[in-house]
Chain A
């Protein structure tokens, strides 16, 4: 028979104790995680929703047949590959080396924005495409401008759009490949929850690794719960 369950139970109890004690280093990591992922999500949302709505509404965008498969591919980009590309661009020998963004939170935001953007665009576009194709025509017949058509459609598909944002949030807050390569996991500067989990597991500090994992899951749950409530309230109104 193999080793019993004691190790796992012990790790869970220790993890809870650590969370309740909540030391400063832990909160620093949580705060940086939220800042980096929040900023990347904000940029991806700001750019991605208008692009997604435009693509979803218009069948006449040039190269649409090429653009859409590209976006769908982008929705499954491996974080470690994005990390590698961003690393090479920001490296001292890379084309953007002069910015000094490698091993900084800014570089991490760049990488996570690249990961989040196709998700926001693709899912927004899919939501818009799922609406009644007659709706924009009817609105235009009623004298609505293109901008008003887009705004009304966006309101109509707000459930799909919040799903897009939640999916992007979940994807980037939980990725480790890009932030590890681009951020460098520097204590107190670029260490986020996922890279801290990898490090503590390597060190054999399973309780701390598990505690960090619980924090990550709680953050993901809180974000999903919030979006779910917002969406639900919107519908019942």
Chain B
């Protein structure tokens, strides 16, 4: 009797933990797509069309890719091109597809003590921050934003370290709060900054322009890619990728607005570029 109970319990656990039913799709993505409200705005259409439920796991790019590698996610939507290409090269996904882009900006104390506002590009702005040893907060969490920041330091020929540079290993929201509290500069995606700006008194976009079109540095463009993970659920995963890159969904991404009425993401799939866009 006892043995039967144990067997039943184990079976139940196995079914609960491992069931990979085709009526659920697990999407691993970055906090920026989720916190901005974009996914809540567009996913119900997919769920209704295919009669499935989409589970969203919103984490950093590093963990989103790990979830895919371990088979714990069916689709990965992230923004770190080199890591995405490595993911495909390692055989975890058949291919990577362009989805959309937004941009990064450098924010900090609104009086801009170092004067990065008139820098020619992001590299120059970072050089000025480092030269003045002005405080800088880094995500330090191997997120897409963190990779972008490190690539700018590398381009500037600077190894950021010392008392002025804090690597805090936290999400974008916490990093912005940290920056406000400590008067630090930081690199952020424009969408998260706009979404939180009401709570970030005294901070402003100091480099990157008022809108994405006014951003003087093309390096700060932030492309998102989607990858269907090779696994038990790859038919549905591929359906999702085709839906996300279709002209119809791309139009919905273009129409999406922040609460203050600003566009946060710009459609960029192959279908969009060759067709409707």
A residues near B (Cβ < 8 Å) are 1-3, 7, 91-92, 102-103, 180, 184-189, 191, 195-196, 199, 201-206
Residue of B65, B166, B169 ringed by the most chain A CB atoms within 10 A: B169
Q: Which residue in B59, B71, B72, B168 is a CB contact (below 8 Å) of A202?
A: B59
Structural contact, B141 and A199, CB atoms closer than 8 A: yes
Contact assessment for B63 and A184 in the assembled complex, using a CB-CB cutoff below 8 Å: no
Most chain B beta-carbon neighbours within 10 Å: one of A1, A91, A199, A201: A199
Is B167 among interface residues, defined by CB-CB distance under 8 A? yes
Jot down 10 A-B pairs with beta carbons below 8 A, ordered by A.
Answer: A2-B14, A3-B70, A184-B166, A185-B168, A187-B166, A199-B140, A202-B169, A204-B62, A204-B66, A204-B69
CA distance A201 to B85 in the complex (A): 22
From residue B62, how far is it (CB to closest CB) to chain A in Å?
A: 4
B53 within 8 A of partner (CB): no
Complex contact B142–A203 (CB within 8 A): yes
Q: Which residues of B contact A2 (CB under 8 A)?
A: 14, 17-20, 71
Within the assembled complex, what's the spacing in Å between the Cα atoms of A195 and B170?
Answer: 10
Contact between chains at B20 and A187 (CB < 8 Å): no
Given contacts A3-B70, A191-B169, contact A202 B62 (CB under 8 A): yes
Interface string of B147-183 (1 = CB under 8 A from A): 0000000000000000000111110000000100110
Residues of A within 8 A of B71 (CB): 2-3
Closest to B171 in A: A202
**With A and B bound together, what is the CA distance between A189 and B142 in angstroms?**
19
| Given A185-B169, A186-B166, also A203-B181 (CB < 8 A) | no
B191 interfacial by beta-carbon distance below 8 Å: no
- Per-residue 0/1 for B174-212: is the Cβ within 8 Å of any A Cβ (1 yes, 0 no)? 000010011000000000000000000000000000000
Chain A residues near B18 (CB-CB < 8 A): 1-3
Interface size class of B (residues with CB under 8 A): 20 to 34
Q: How far is the CB of A107 from chain B (nearest CB, A)?
A: 12
User: How far, in Å, is A83 (CB) from chain B's closest CB?
Assistant: 12
Once the chains bind, are B170 and A184 in contact (CB under 8 Å)?
Answer: yes
Chain A residue at minimum C-beta to C-beta distance from B142: A203
Which residues of B are in contact with A by a Cβ distance under 8 Å?
14, 17-20, 59-60, 62-63, 65-67, 69-72, 140-142, 166-170, 178, 181-182
- B182–A103 touching, CB < 8 Å: yes
B66 and A206 contact, CB distance less than 8 A: yes
> How far, in whole Å, are A188 and B168 apart by their CA atoms in the complex?
10
Identify the closest chain A residue to B19 (Cβ): A2
B168 touches A186 (CB 8 A): yes
| CB atoms of B181 and A103 under 8 A apart | yes
- Chain B residues contacting A199 (CB-CB under 8 Å) are 140-141, 169-170
In the bound complex, CA of A180 to CA of B170 (Å): 9
Given the known inter-chain contacts A2-B18, A92-B181, please indicate yes or no for A186 contacting B167, CB distance below 8 A: yes
Specify which chain A residues have a CB less than 8 angstroms from the CB of B14 in the assembled complex: 2
Inter-subunit contact A187/B60 (CB<8 Å): no
Give the nearest-CB partner of B18 in chain A.
A2
Contacts of A187 in B (CB 8 A): 140, 166-169
In the complex, the answer to whether B60 meets A203 with C-beta atoms within 8 Å is: yes
Return the chain B residue nearest A183 by Cβ: B168
Knowing A2-B18, A191-B169, say if A202 contacts B181 (CB, 8 Å): no
Separation of A191 and B138 alpha carbons in the complex (Å): 14
